[in-house]
Amino acid sequence: MLPLNATIVKINEESPSVRTFFFDYQFETMKAGQFVMVWVRGVDEIPMGLSSKNSITVQKVGEATSKLFELKEGDSFGLRGPFGVGFTLPSKGERTLVIAGGVGAAPLAPYAEAARIAGAEVYTVLGARSADDLIFEKRFAEAGNVYVSTDDGSKGVKGFVTDVLNDLDLSAYDRIAVCGPEVMMASVFRLLEDRKLLEKSEFSLHRYFKCGIGVCGACCIDRSGLRVCKDGPVFSGVQLLDSELGKYTRDASGRRVKI
């Protein structure tokens, strides 16, 4: 449980507000969708999804991520993990639909790649605010077919990922994996619920963790007591029925905050 000292070996700028930090250690047993606890020295320890066996992809949104953006190659941070439940890999020949919004593409890119290696047919719906904000489009394209949507219409369909999904026969897919902003995931959830396809789906929740191993209880969701860090962050769509998804999130104290 002591943090591993990870030295940054490369930094990729994925968009104006997103960077990928590659470090000098490979998490060989990592499952797509798992996360690590990132210790930003002197600031905080925060959960981050792994975007590969040796990288995290970070959106600049707060104090800890802003501090990460100040780091350069040769600097280091602490890592614990990988933790949590990852996405279920498809079997050979299964048709898999990946639905990624914004930085939610980070845990889904390795999933799409692993699904392709497993022999599945991979299709991705990739959404972002603009063409400049699209993350890992090339990685998804190398794994299979990609449908793009942007809020401003600068690339692909003008609108949201649900605008693309409305034109697809979702019943034709064996598995559906979703990650992105919670408002987006809630919209996808409702769409899949209406089409009675939740049993095929998995969603990765983005929540604030403290311990990352299910001890402190700060990330419990609803009355079920499911812990996002230990029982997730990937949950089946059925598990999330009547849940807080899309209604509220939690702050650092565990208090409900309306979305």
Q: Which of 28-32, 110-114, 209-213 has the lowest mean pLDDT?
A: 209-213
The percentage of the chain sitting over the pLDDT mark of 70, rounded to a whole number, equals 95
Q: What is the pLDDT of residue 79?
A: 95
179 annotated ligand binder: no
219 annotated ligand binder: yes
The percentage of the chain sitting over the pLDDT mark of 90, rounded to a whole number, equals 78
**Which domains does the chain possess?**
4-83 (2.40.30.10), 95-258 (3.40.50.80)
Reduced DSSP (H G I as helix, E B as strand, rest coil) percent helix, strand, coil of the chain, to 5:
25, 35, 40
| Strand ranges for the chain from DSSP E | 4-15, 18-23, 35-40, 44-52, 55-59, 76-83, 95-101, 121-128, 145-150, 157-158, 175-179, 201-204, 220-221, 226-227, 234-236, 248-250, 256-258
Cα radius of gyration rounded to whole Å, the chain = 17
Work out the average pLDDT over 96-106. 97
The C-alpha atoms of residue 185 and residue 192 are separated, in whole angstroms, by 10
Q: What is the pLDDT of residues 231-256, one digit of tens each?
A: 879 999 999 988 878 777 777 666 77
Work out the average pLDDT over 204-228. 75
Work out the average pLDDT over 78-95. 95
What is the distance, to the nearest Å, from the Cα of residue 42 to the centroid of all Cα atoms in its chain? 26
> Residues with Cβ < 8 Å from 172, sequence gap 6 or more?
95
Token pair in block for residue 76:
């280091």
Q: What is the pLDDT of residues 122-148, one digit of tens each?
A: 999 999 999 999 999 999 999 999 999
220 annotated ligand binder: no
Find out whether 207 and 130 touch, Cβ atoms under 8 Å. Answer: no
211 annotated ligand binder: yes
Q: What is the pLDDT of residue 253?
A: 66
Q: What is the pLDDT of residue 254?
A: 65
- Dihedral angle over CA of 9, 14, 15, 17, nearest 10: -40
